[in-house]
A and B are shown apart, each in its own frame.
Chain A
Amino acid sequence: QVTLKESGPVLVKPTETLTLTCTVSGFSLSNARMGVSWIRQPPGKALEWLAHIFSNDEKSYSTSLKSRLTISKDTSKSQVVLTMTNMDPVDTATYYCARFTDYGDYDYWGQGTLVTVSS
């Protein structure tokens, strides 16, 4: 059974750095046909892709947020970590991690974690 679960702070202050962890089970982060992405959704708004990481450690970032994002993985812990620097209230959103397949789609998603940016 494939599952993904996000964890991290529910509240961060402006200018702080956000660190989110996605813990996966039911598949390996070394699986050549899979990757993991982070996607966010501000309240009442659309989905926004942030970053993804492949089994070979290749990474890709949203052009608009690239300077603030870092994605990494620890295969032995089955975890993918996203850091986002210089948080702002507009970054308030539910952050999802999802499994990315070689069809370019997301077949499994985490439940999401709401991160609020406020002083």
Chain B
Amino acid sequence: DIQMTQSPSSLSASVGDRVTITCQASQDISNYLNWYQQKPGKAPKLLIYDASNLETGVPSRFSGSGSGTDFTFTISSLQPEDIATYYCQQYDNLQLTFGGGTKVEIK
């Protein structure tokens, strides 16, 4: 099975800061990588699909990049409402895996 290593596991940043989260796959997954935001007590919300495509209605401060094994998720200017845990998720050959999550807090 493909393993997804997400880092950091948590971070603290100030409002307006640029925030970057990485996800590394244990083997080549092309661009089959998605990013989700989960707020406490809520179901995850899709933000980015196919590594770099912004889901409809998601603010443009969120972005994703990468292909193969290394992927990056960026919040260009952190806002108070972005406090959440973020997960990457890969899809390869009918098997899915989520990363371990990154908890984003305000400094």
Contact = CB atoms under 8 A, between A and B. Distances in A.
Contact of A103 (B36, B38, B43, B49): B49
Nearest to B100: A46
A49 B34 contact: no
B46 A107 contact: yes
Contact of B94 (A46, A60, A106, A112): A60
A109 to B, nearest CB: 4
B98 A49 contact: yes
A105 B49 contact: yes
B50 A103 contact: yes
Interface string B74-107: 0000000000000101010011111111000000
Interface residues of B, number: 23
Interface of A: 37, 39, 46-49, 52, 58, 60, 62-64, 96, 98, 103-107, 109-112
28 contacts: A37-B96, A46-B87, A46-B98, A46-B99, A47-B89, A47-B98, A48-B98, A49-B89, A49-B95, A49-B97, A60-B95, A63-B1, A63-B95, A96-B43, A96-B44, A103-B49, A103-B50, A104-B49, A104-B50, A105-B46, A105-B49, A105-B91, A106-B34, A106-B36, A106-B89, A107-B55, A111-B43, A112-B43
Interface of B: 1, 32, 34, 36, 38, 43-46, 49-50, 55, 87, 89, 91, 94-101
Given A39-B98, A46-B99, 12 more contacts: A46-B87, A46-B98, A46-B100, A47-B38, A47-B101, A52-B96, A60-B95, A64-B1, A98-B43, A104-B50, A107-B55, A111-B43
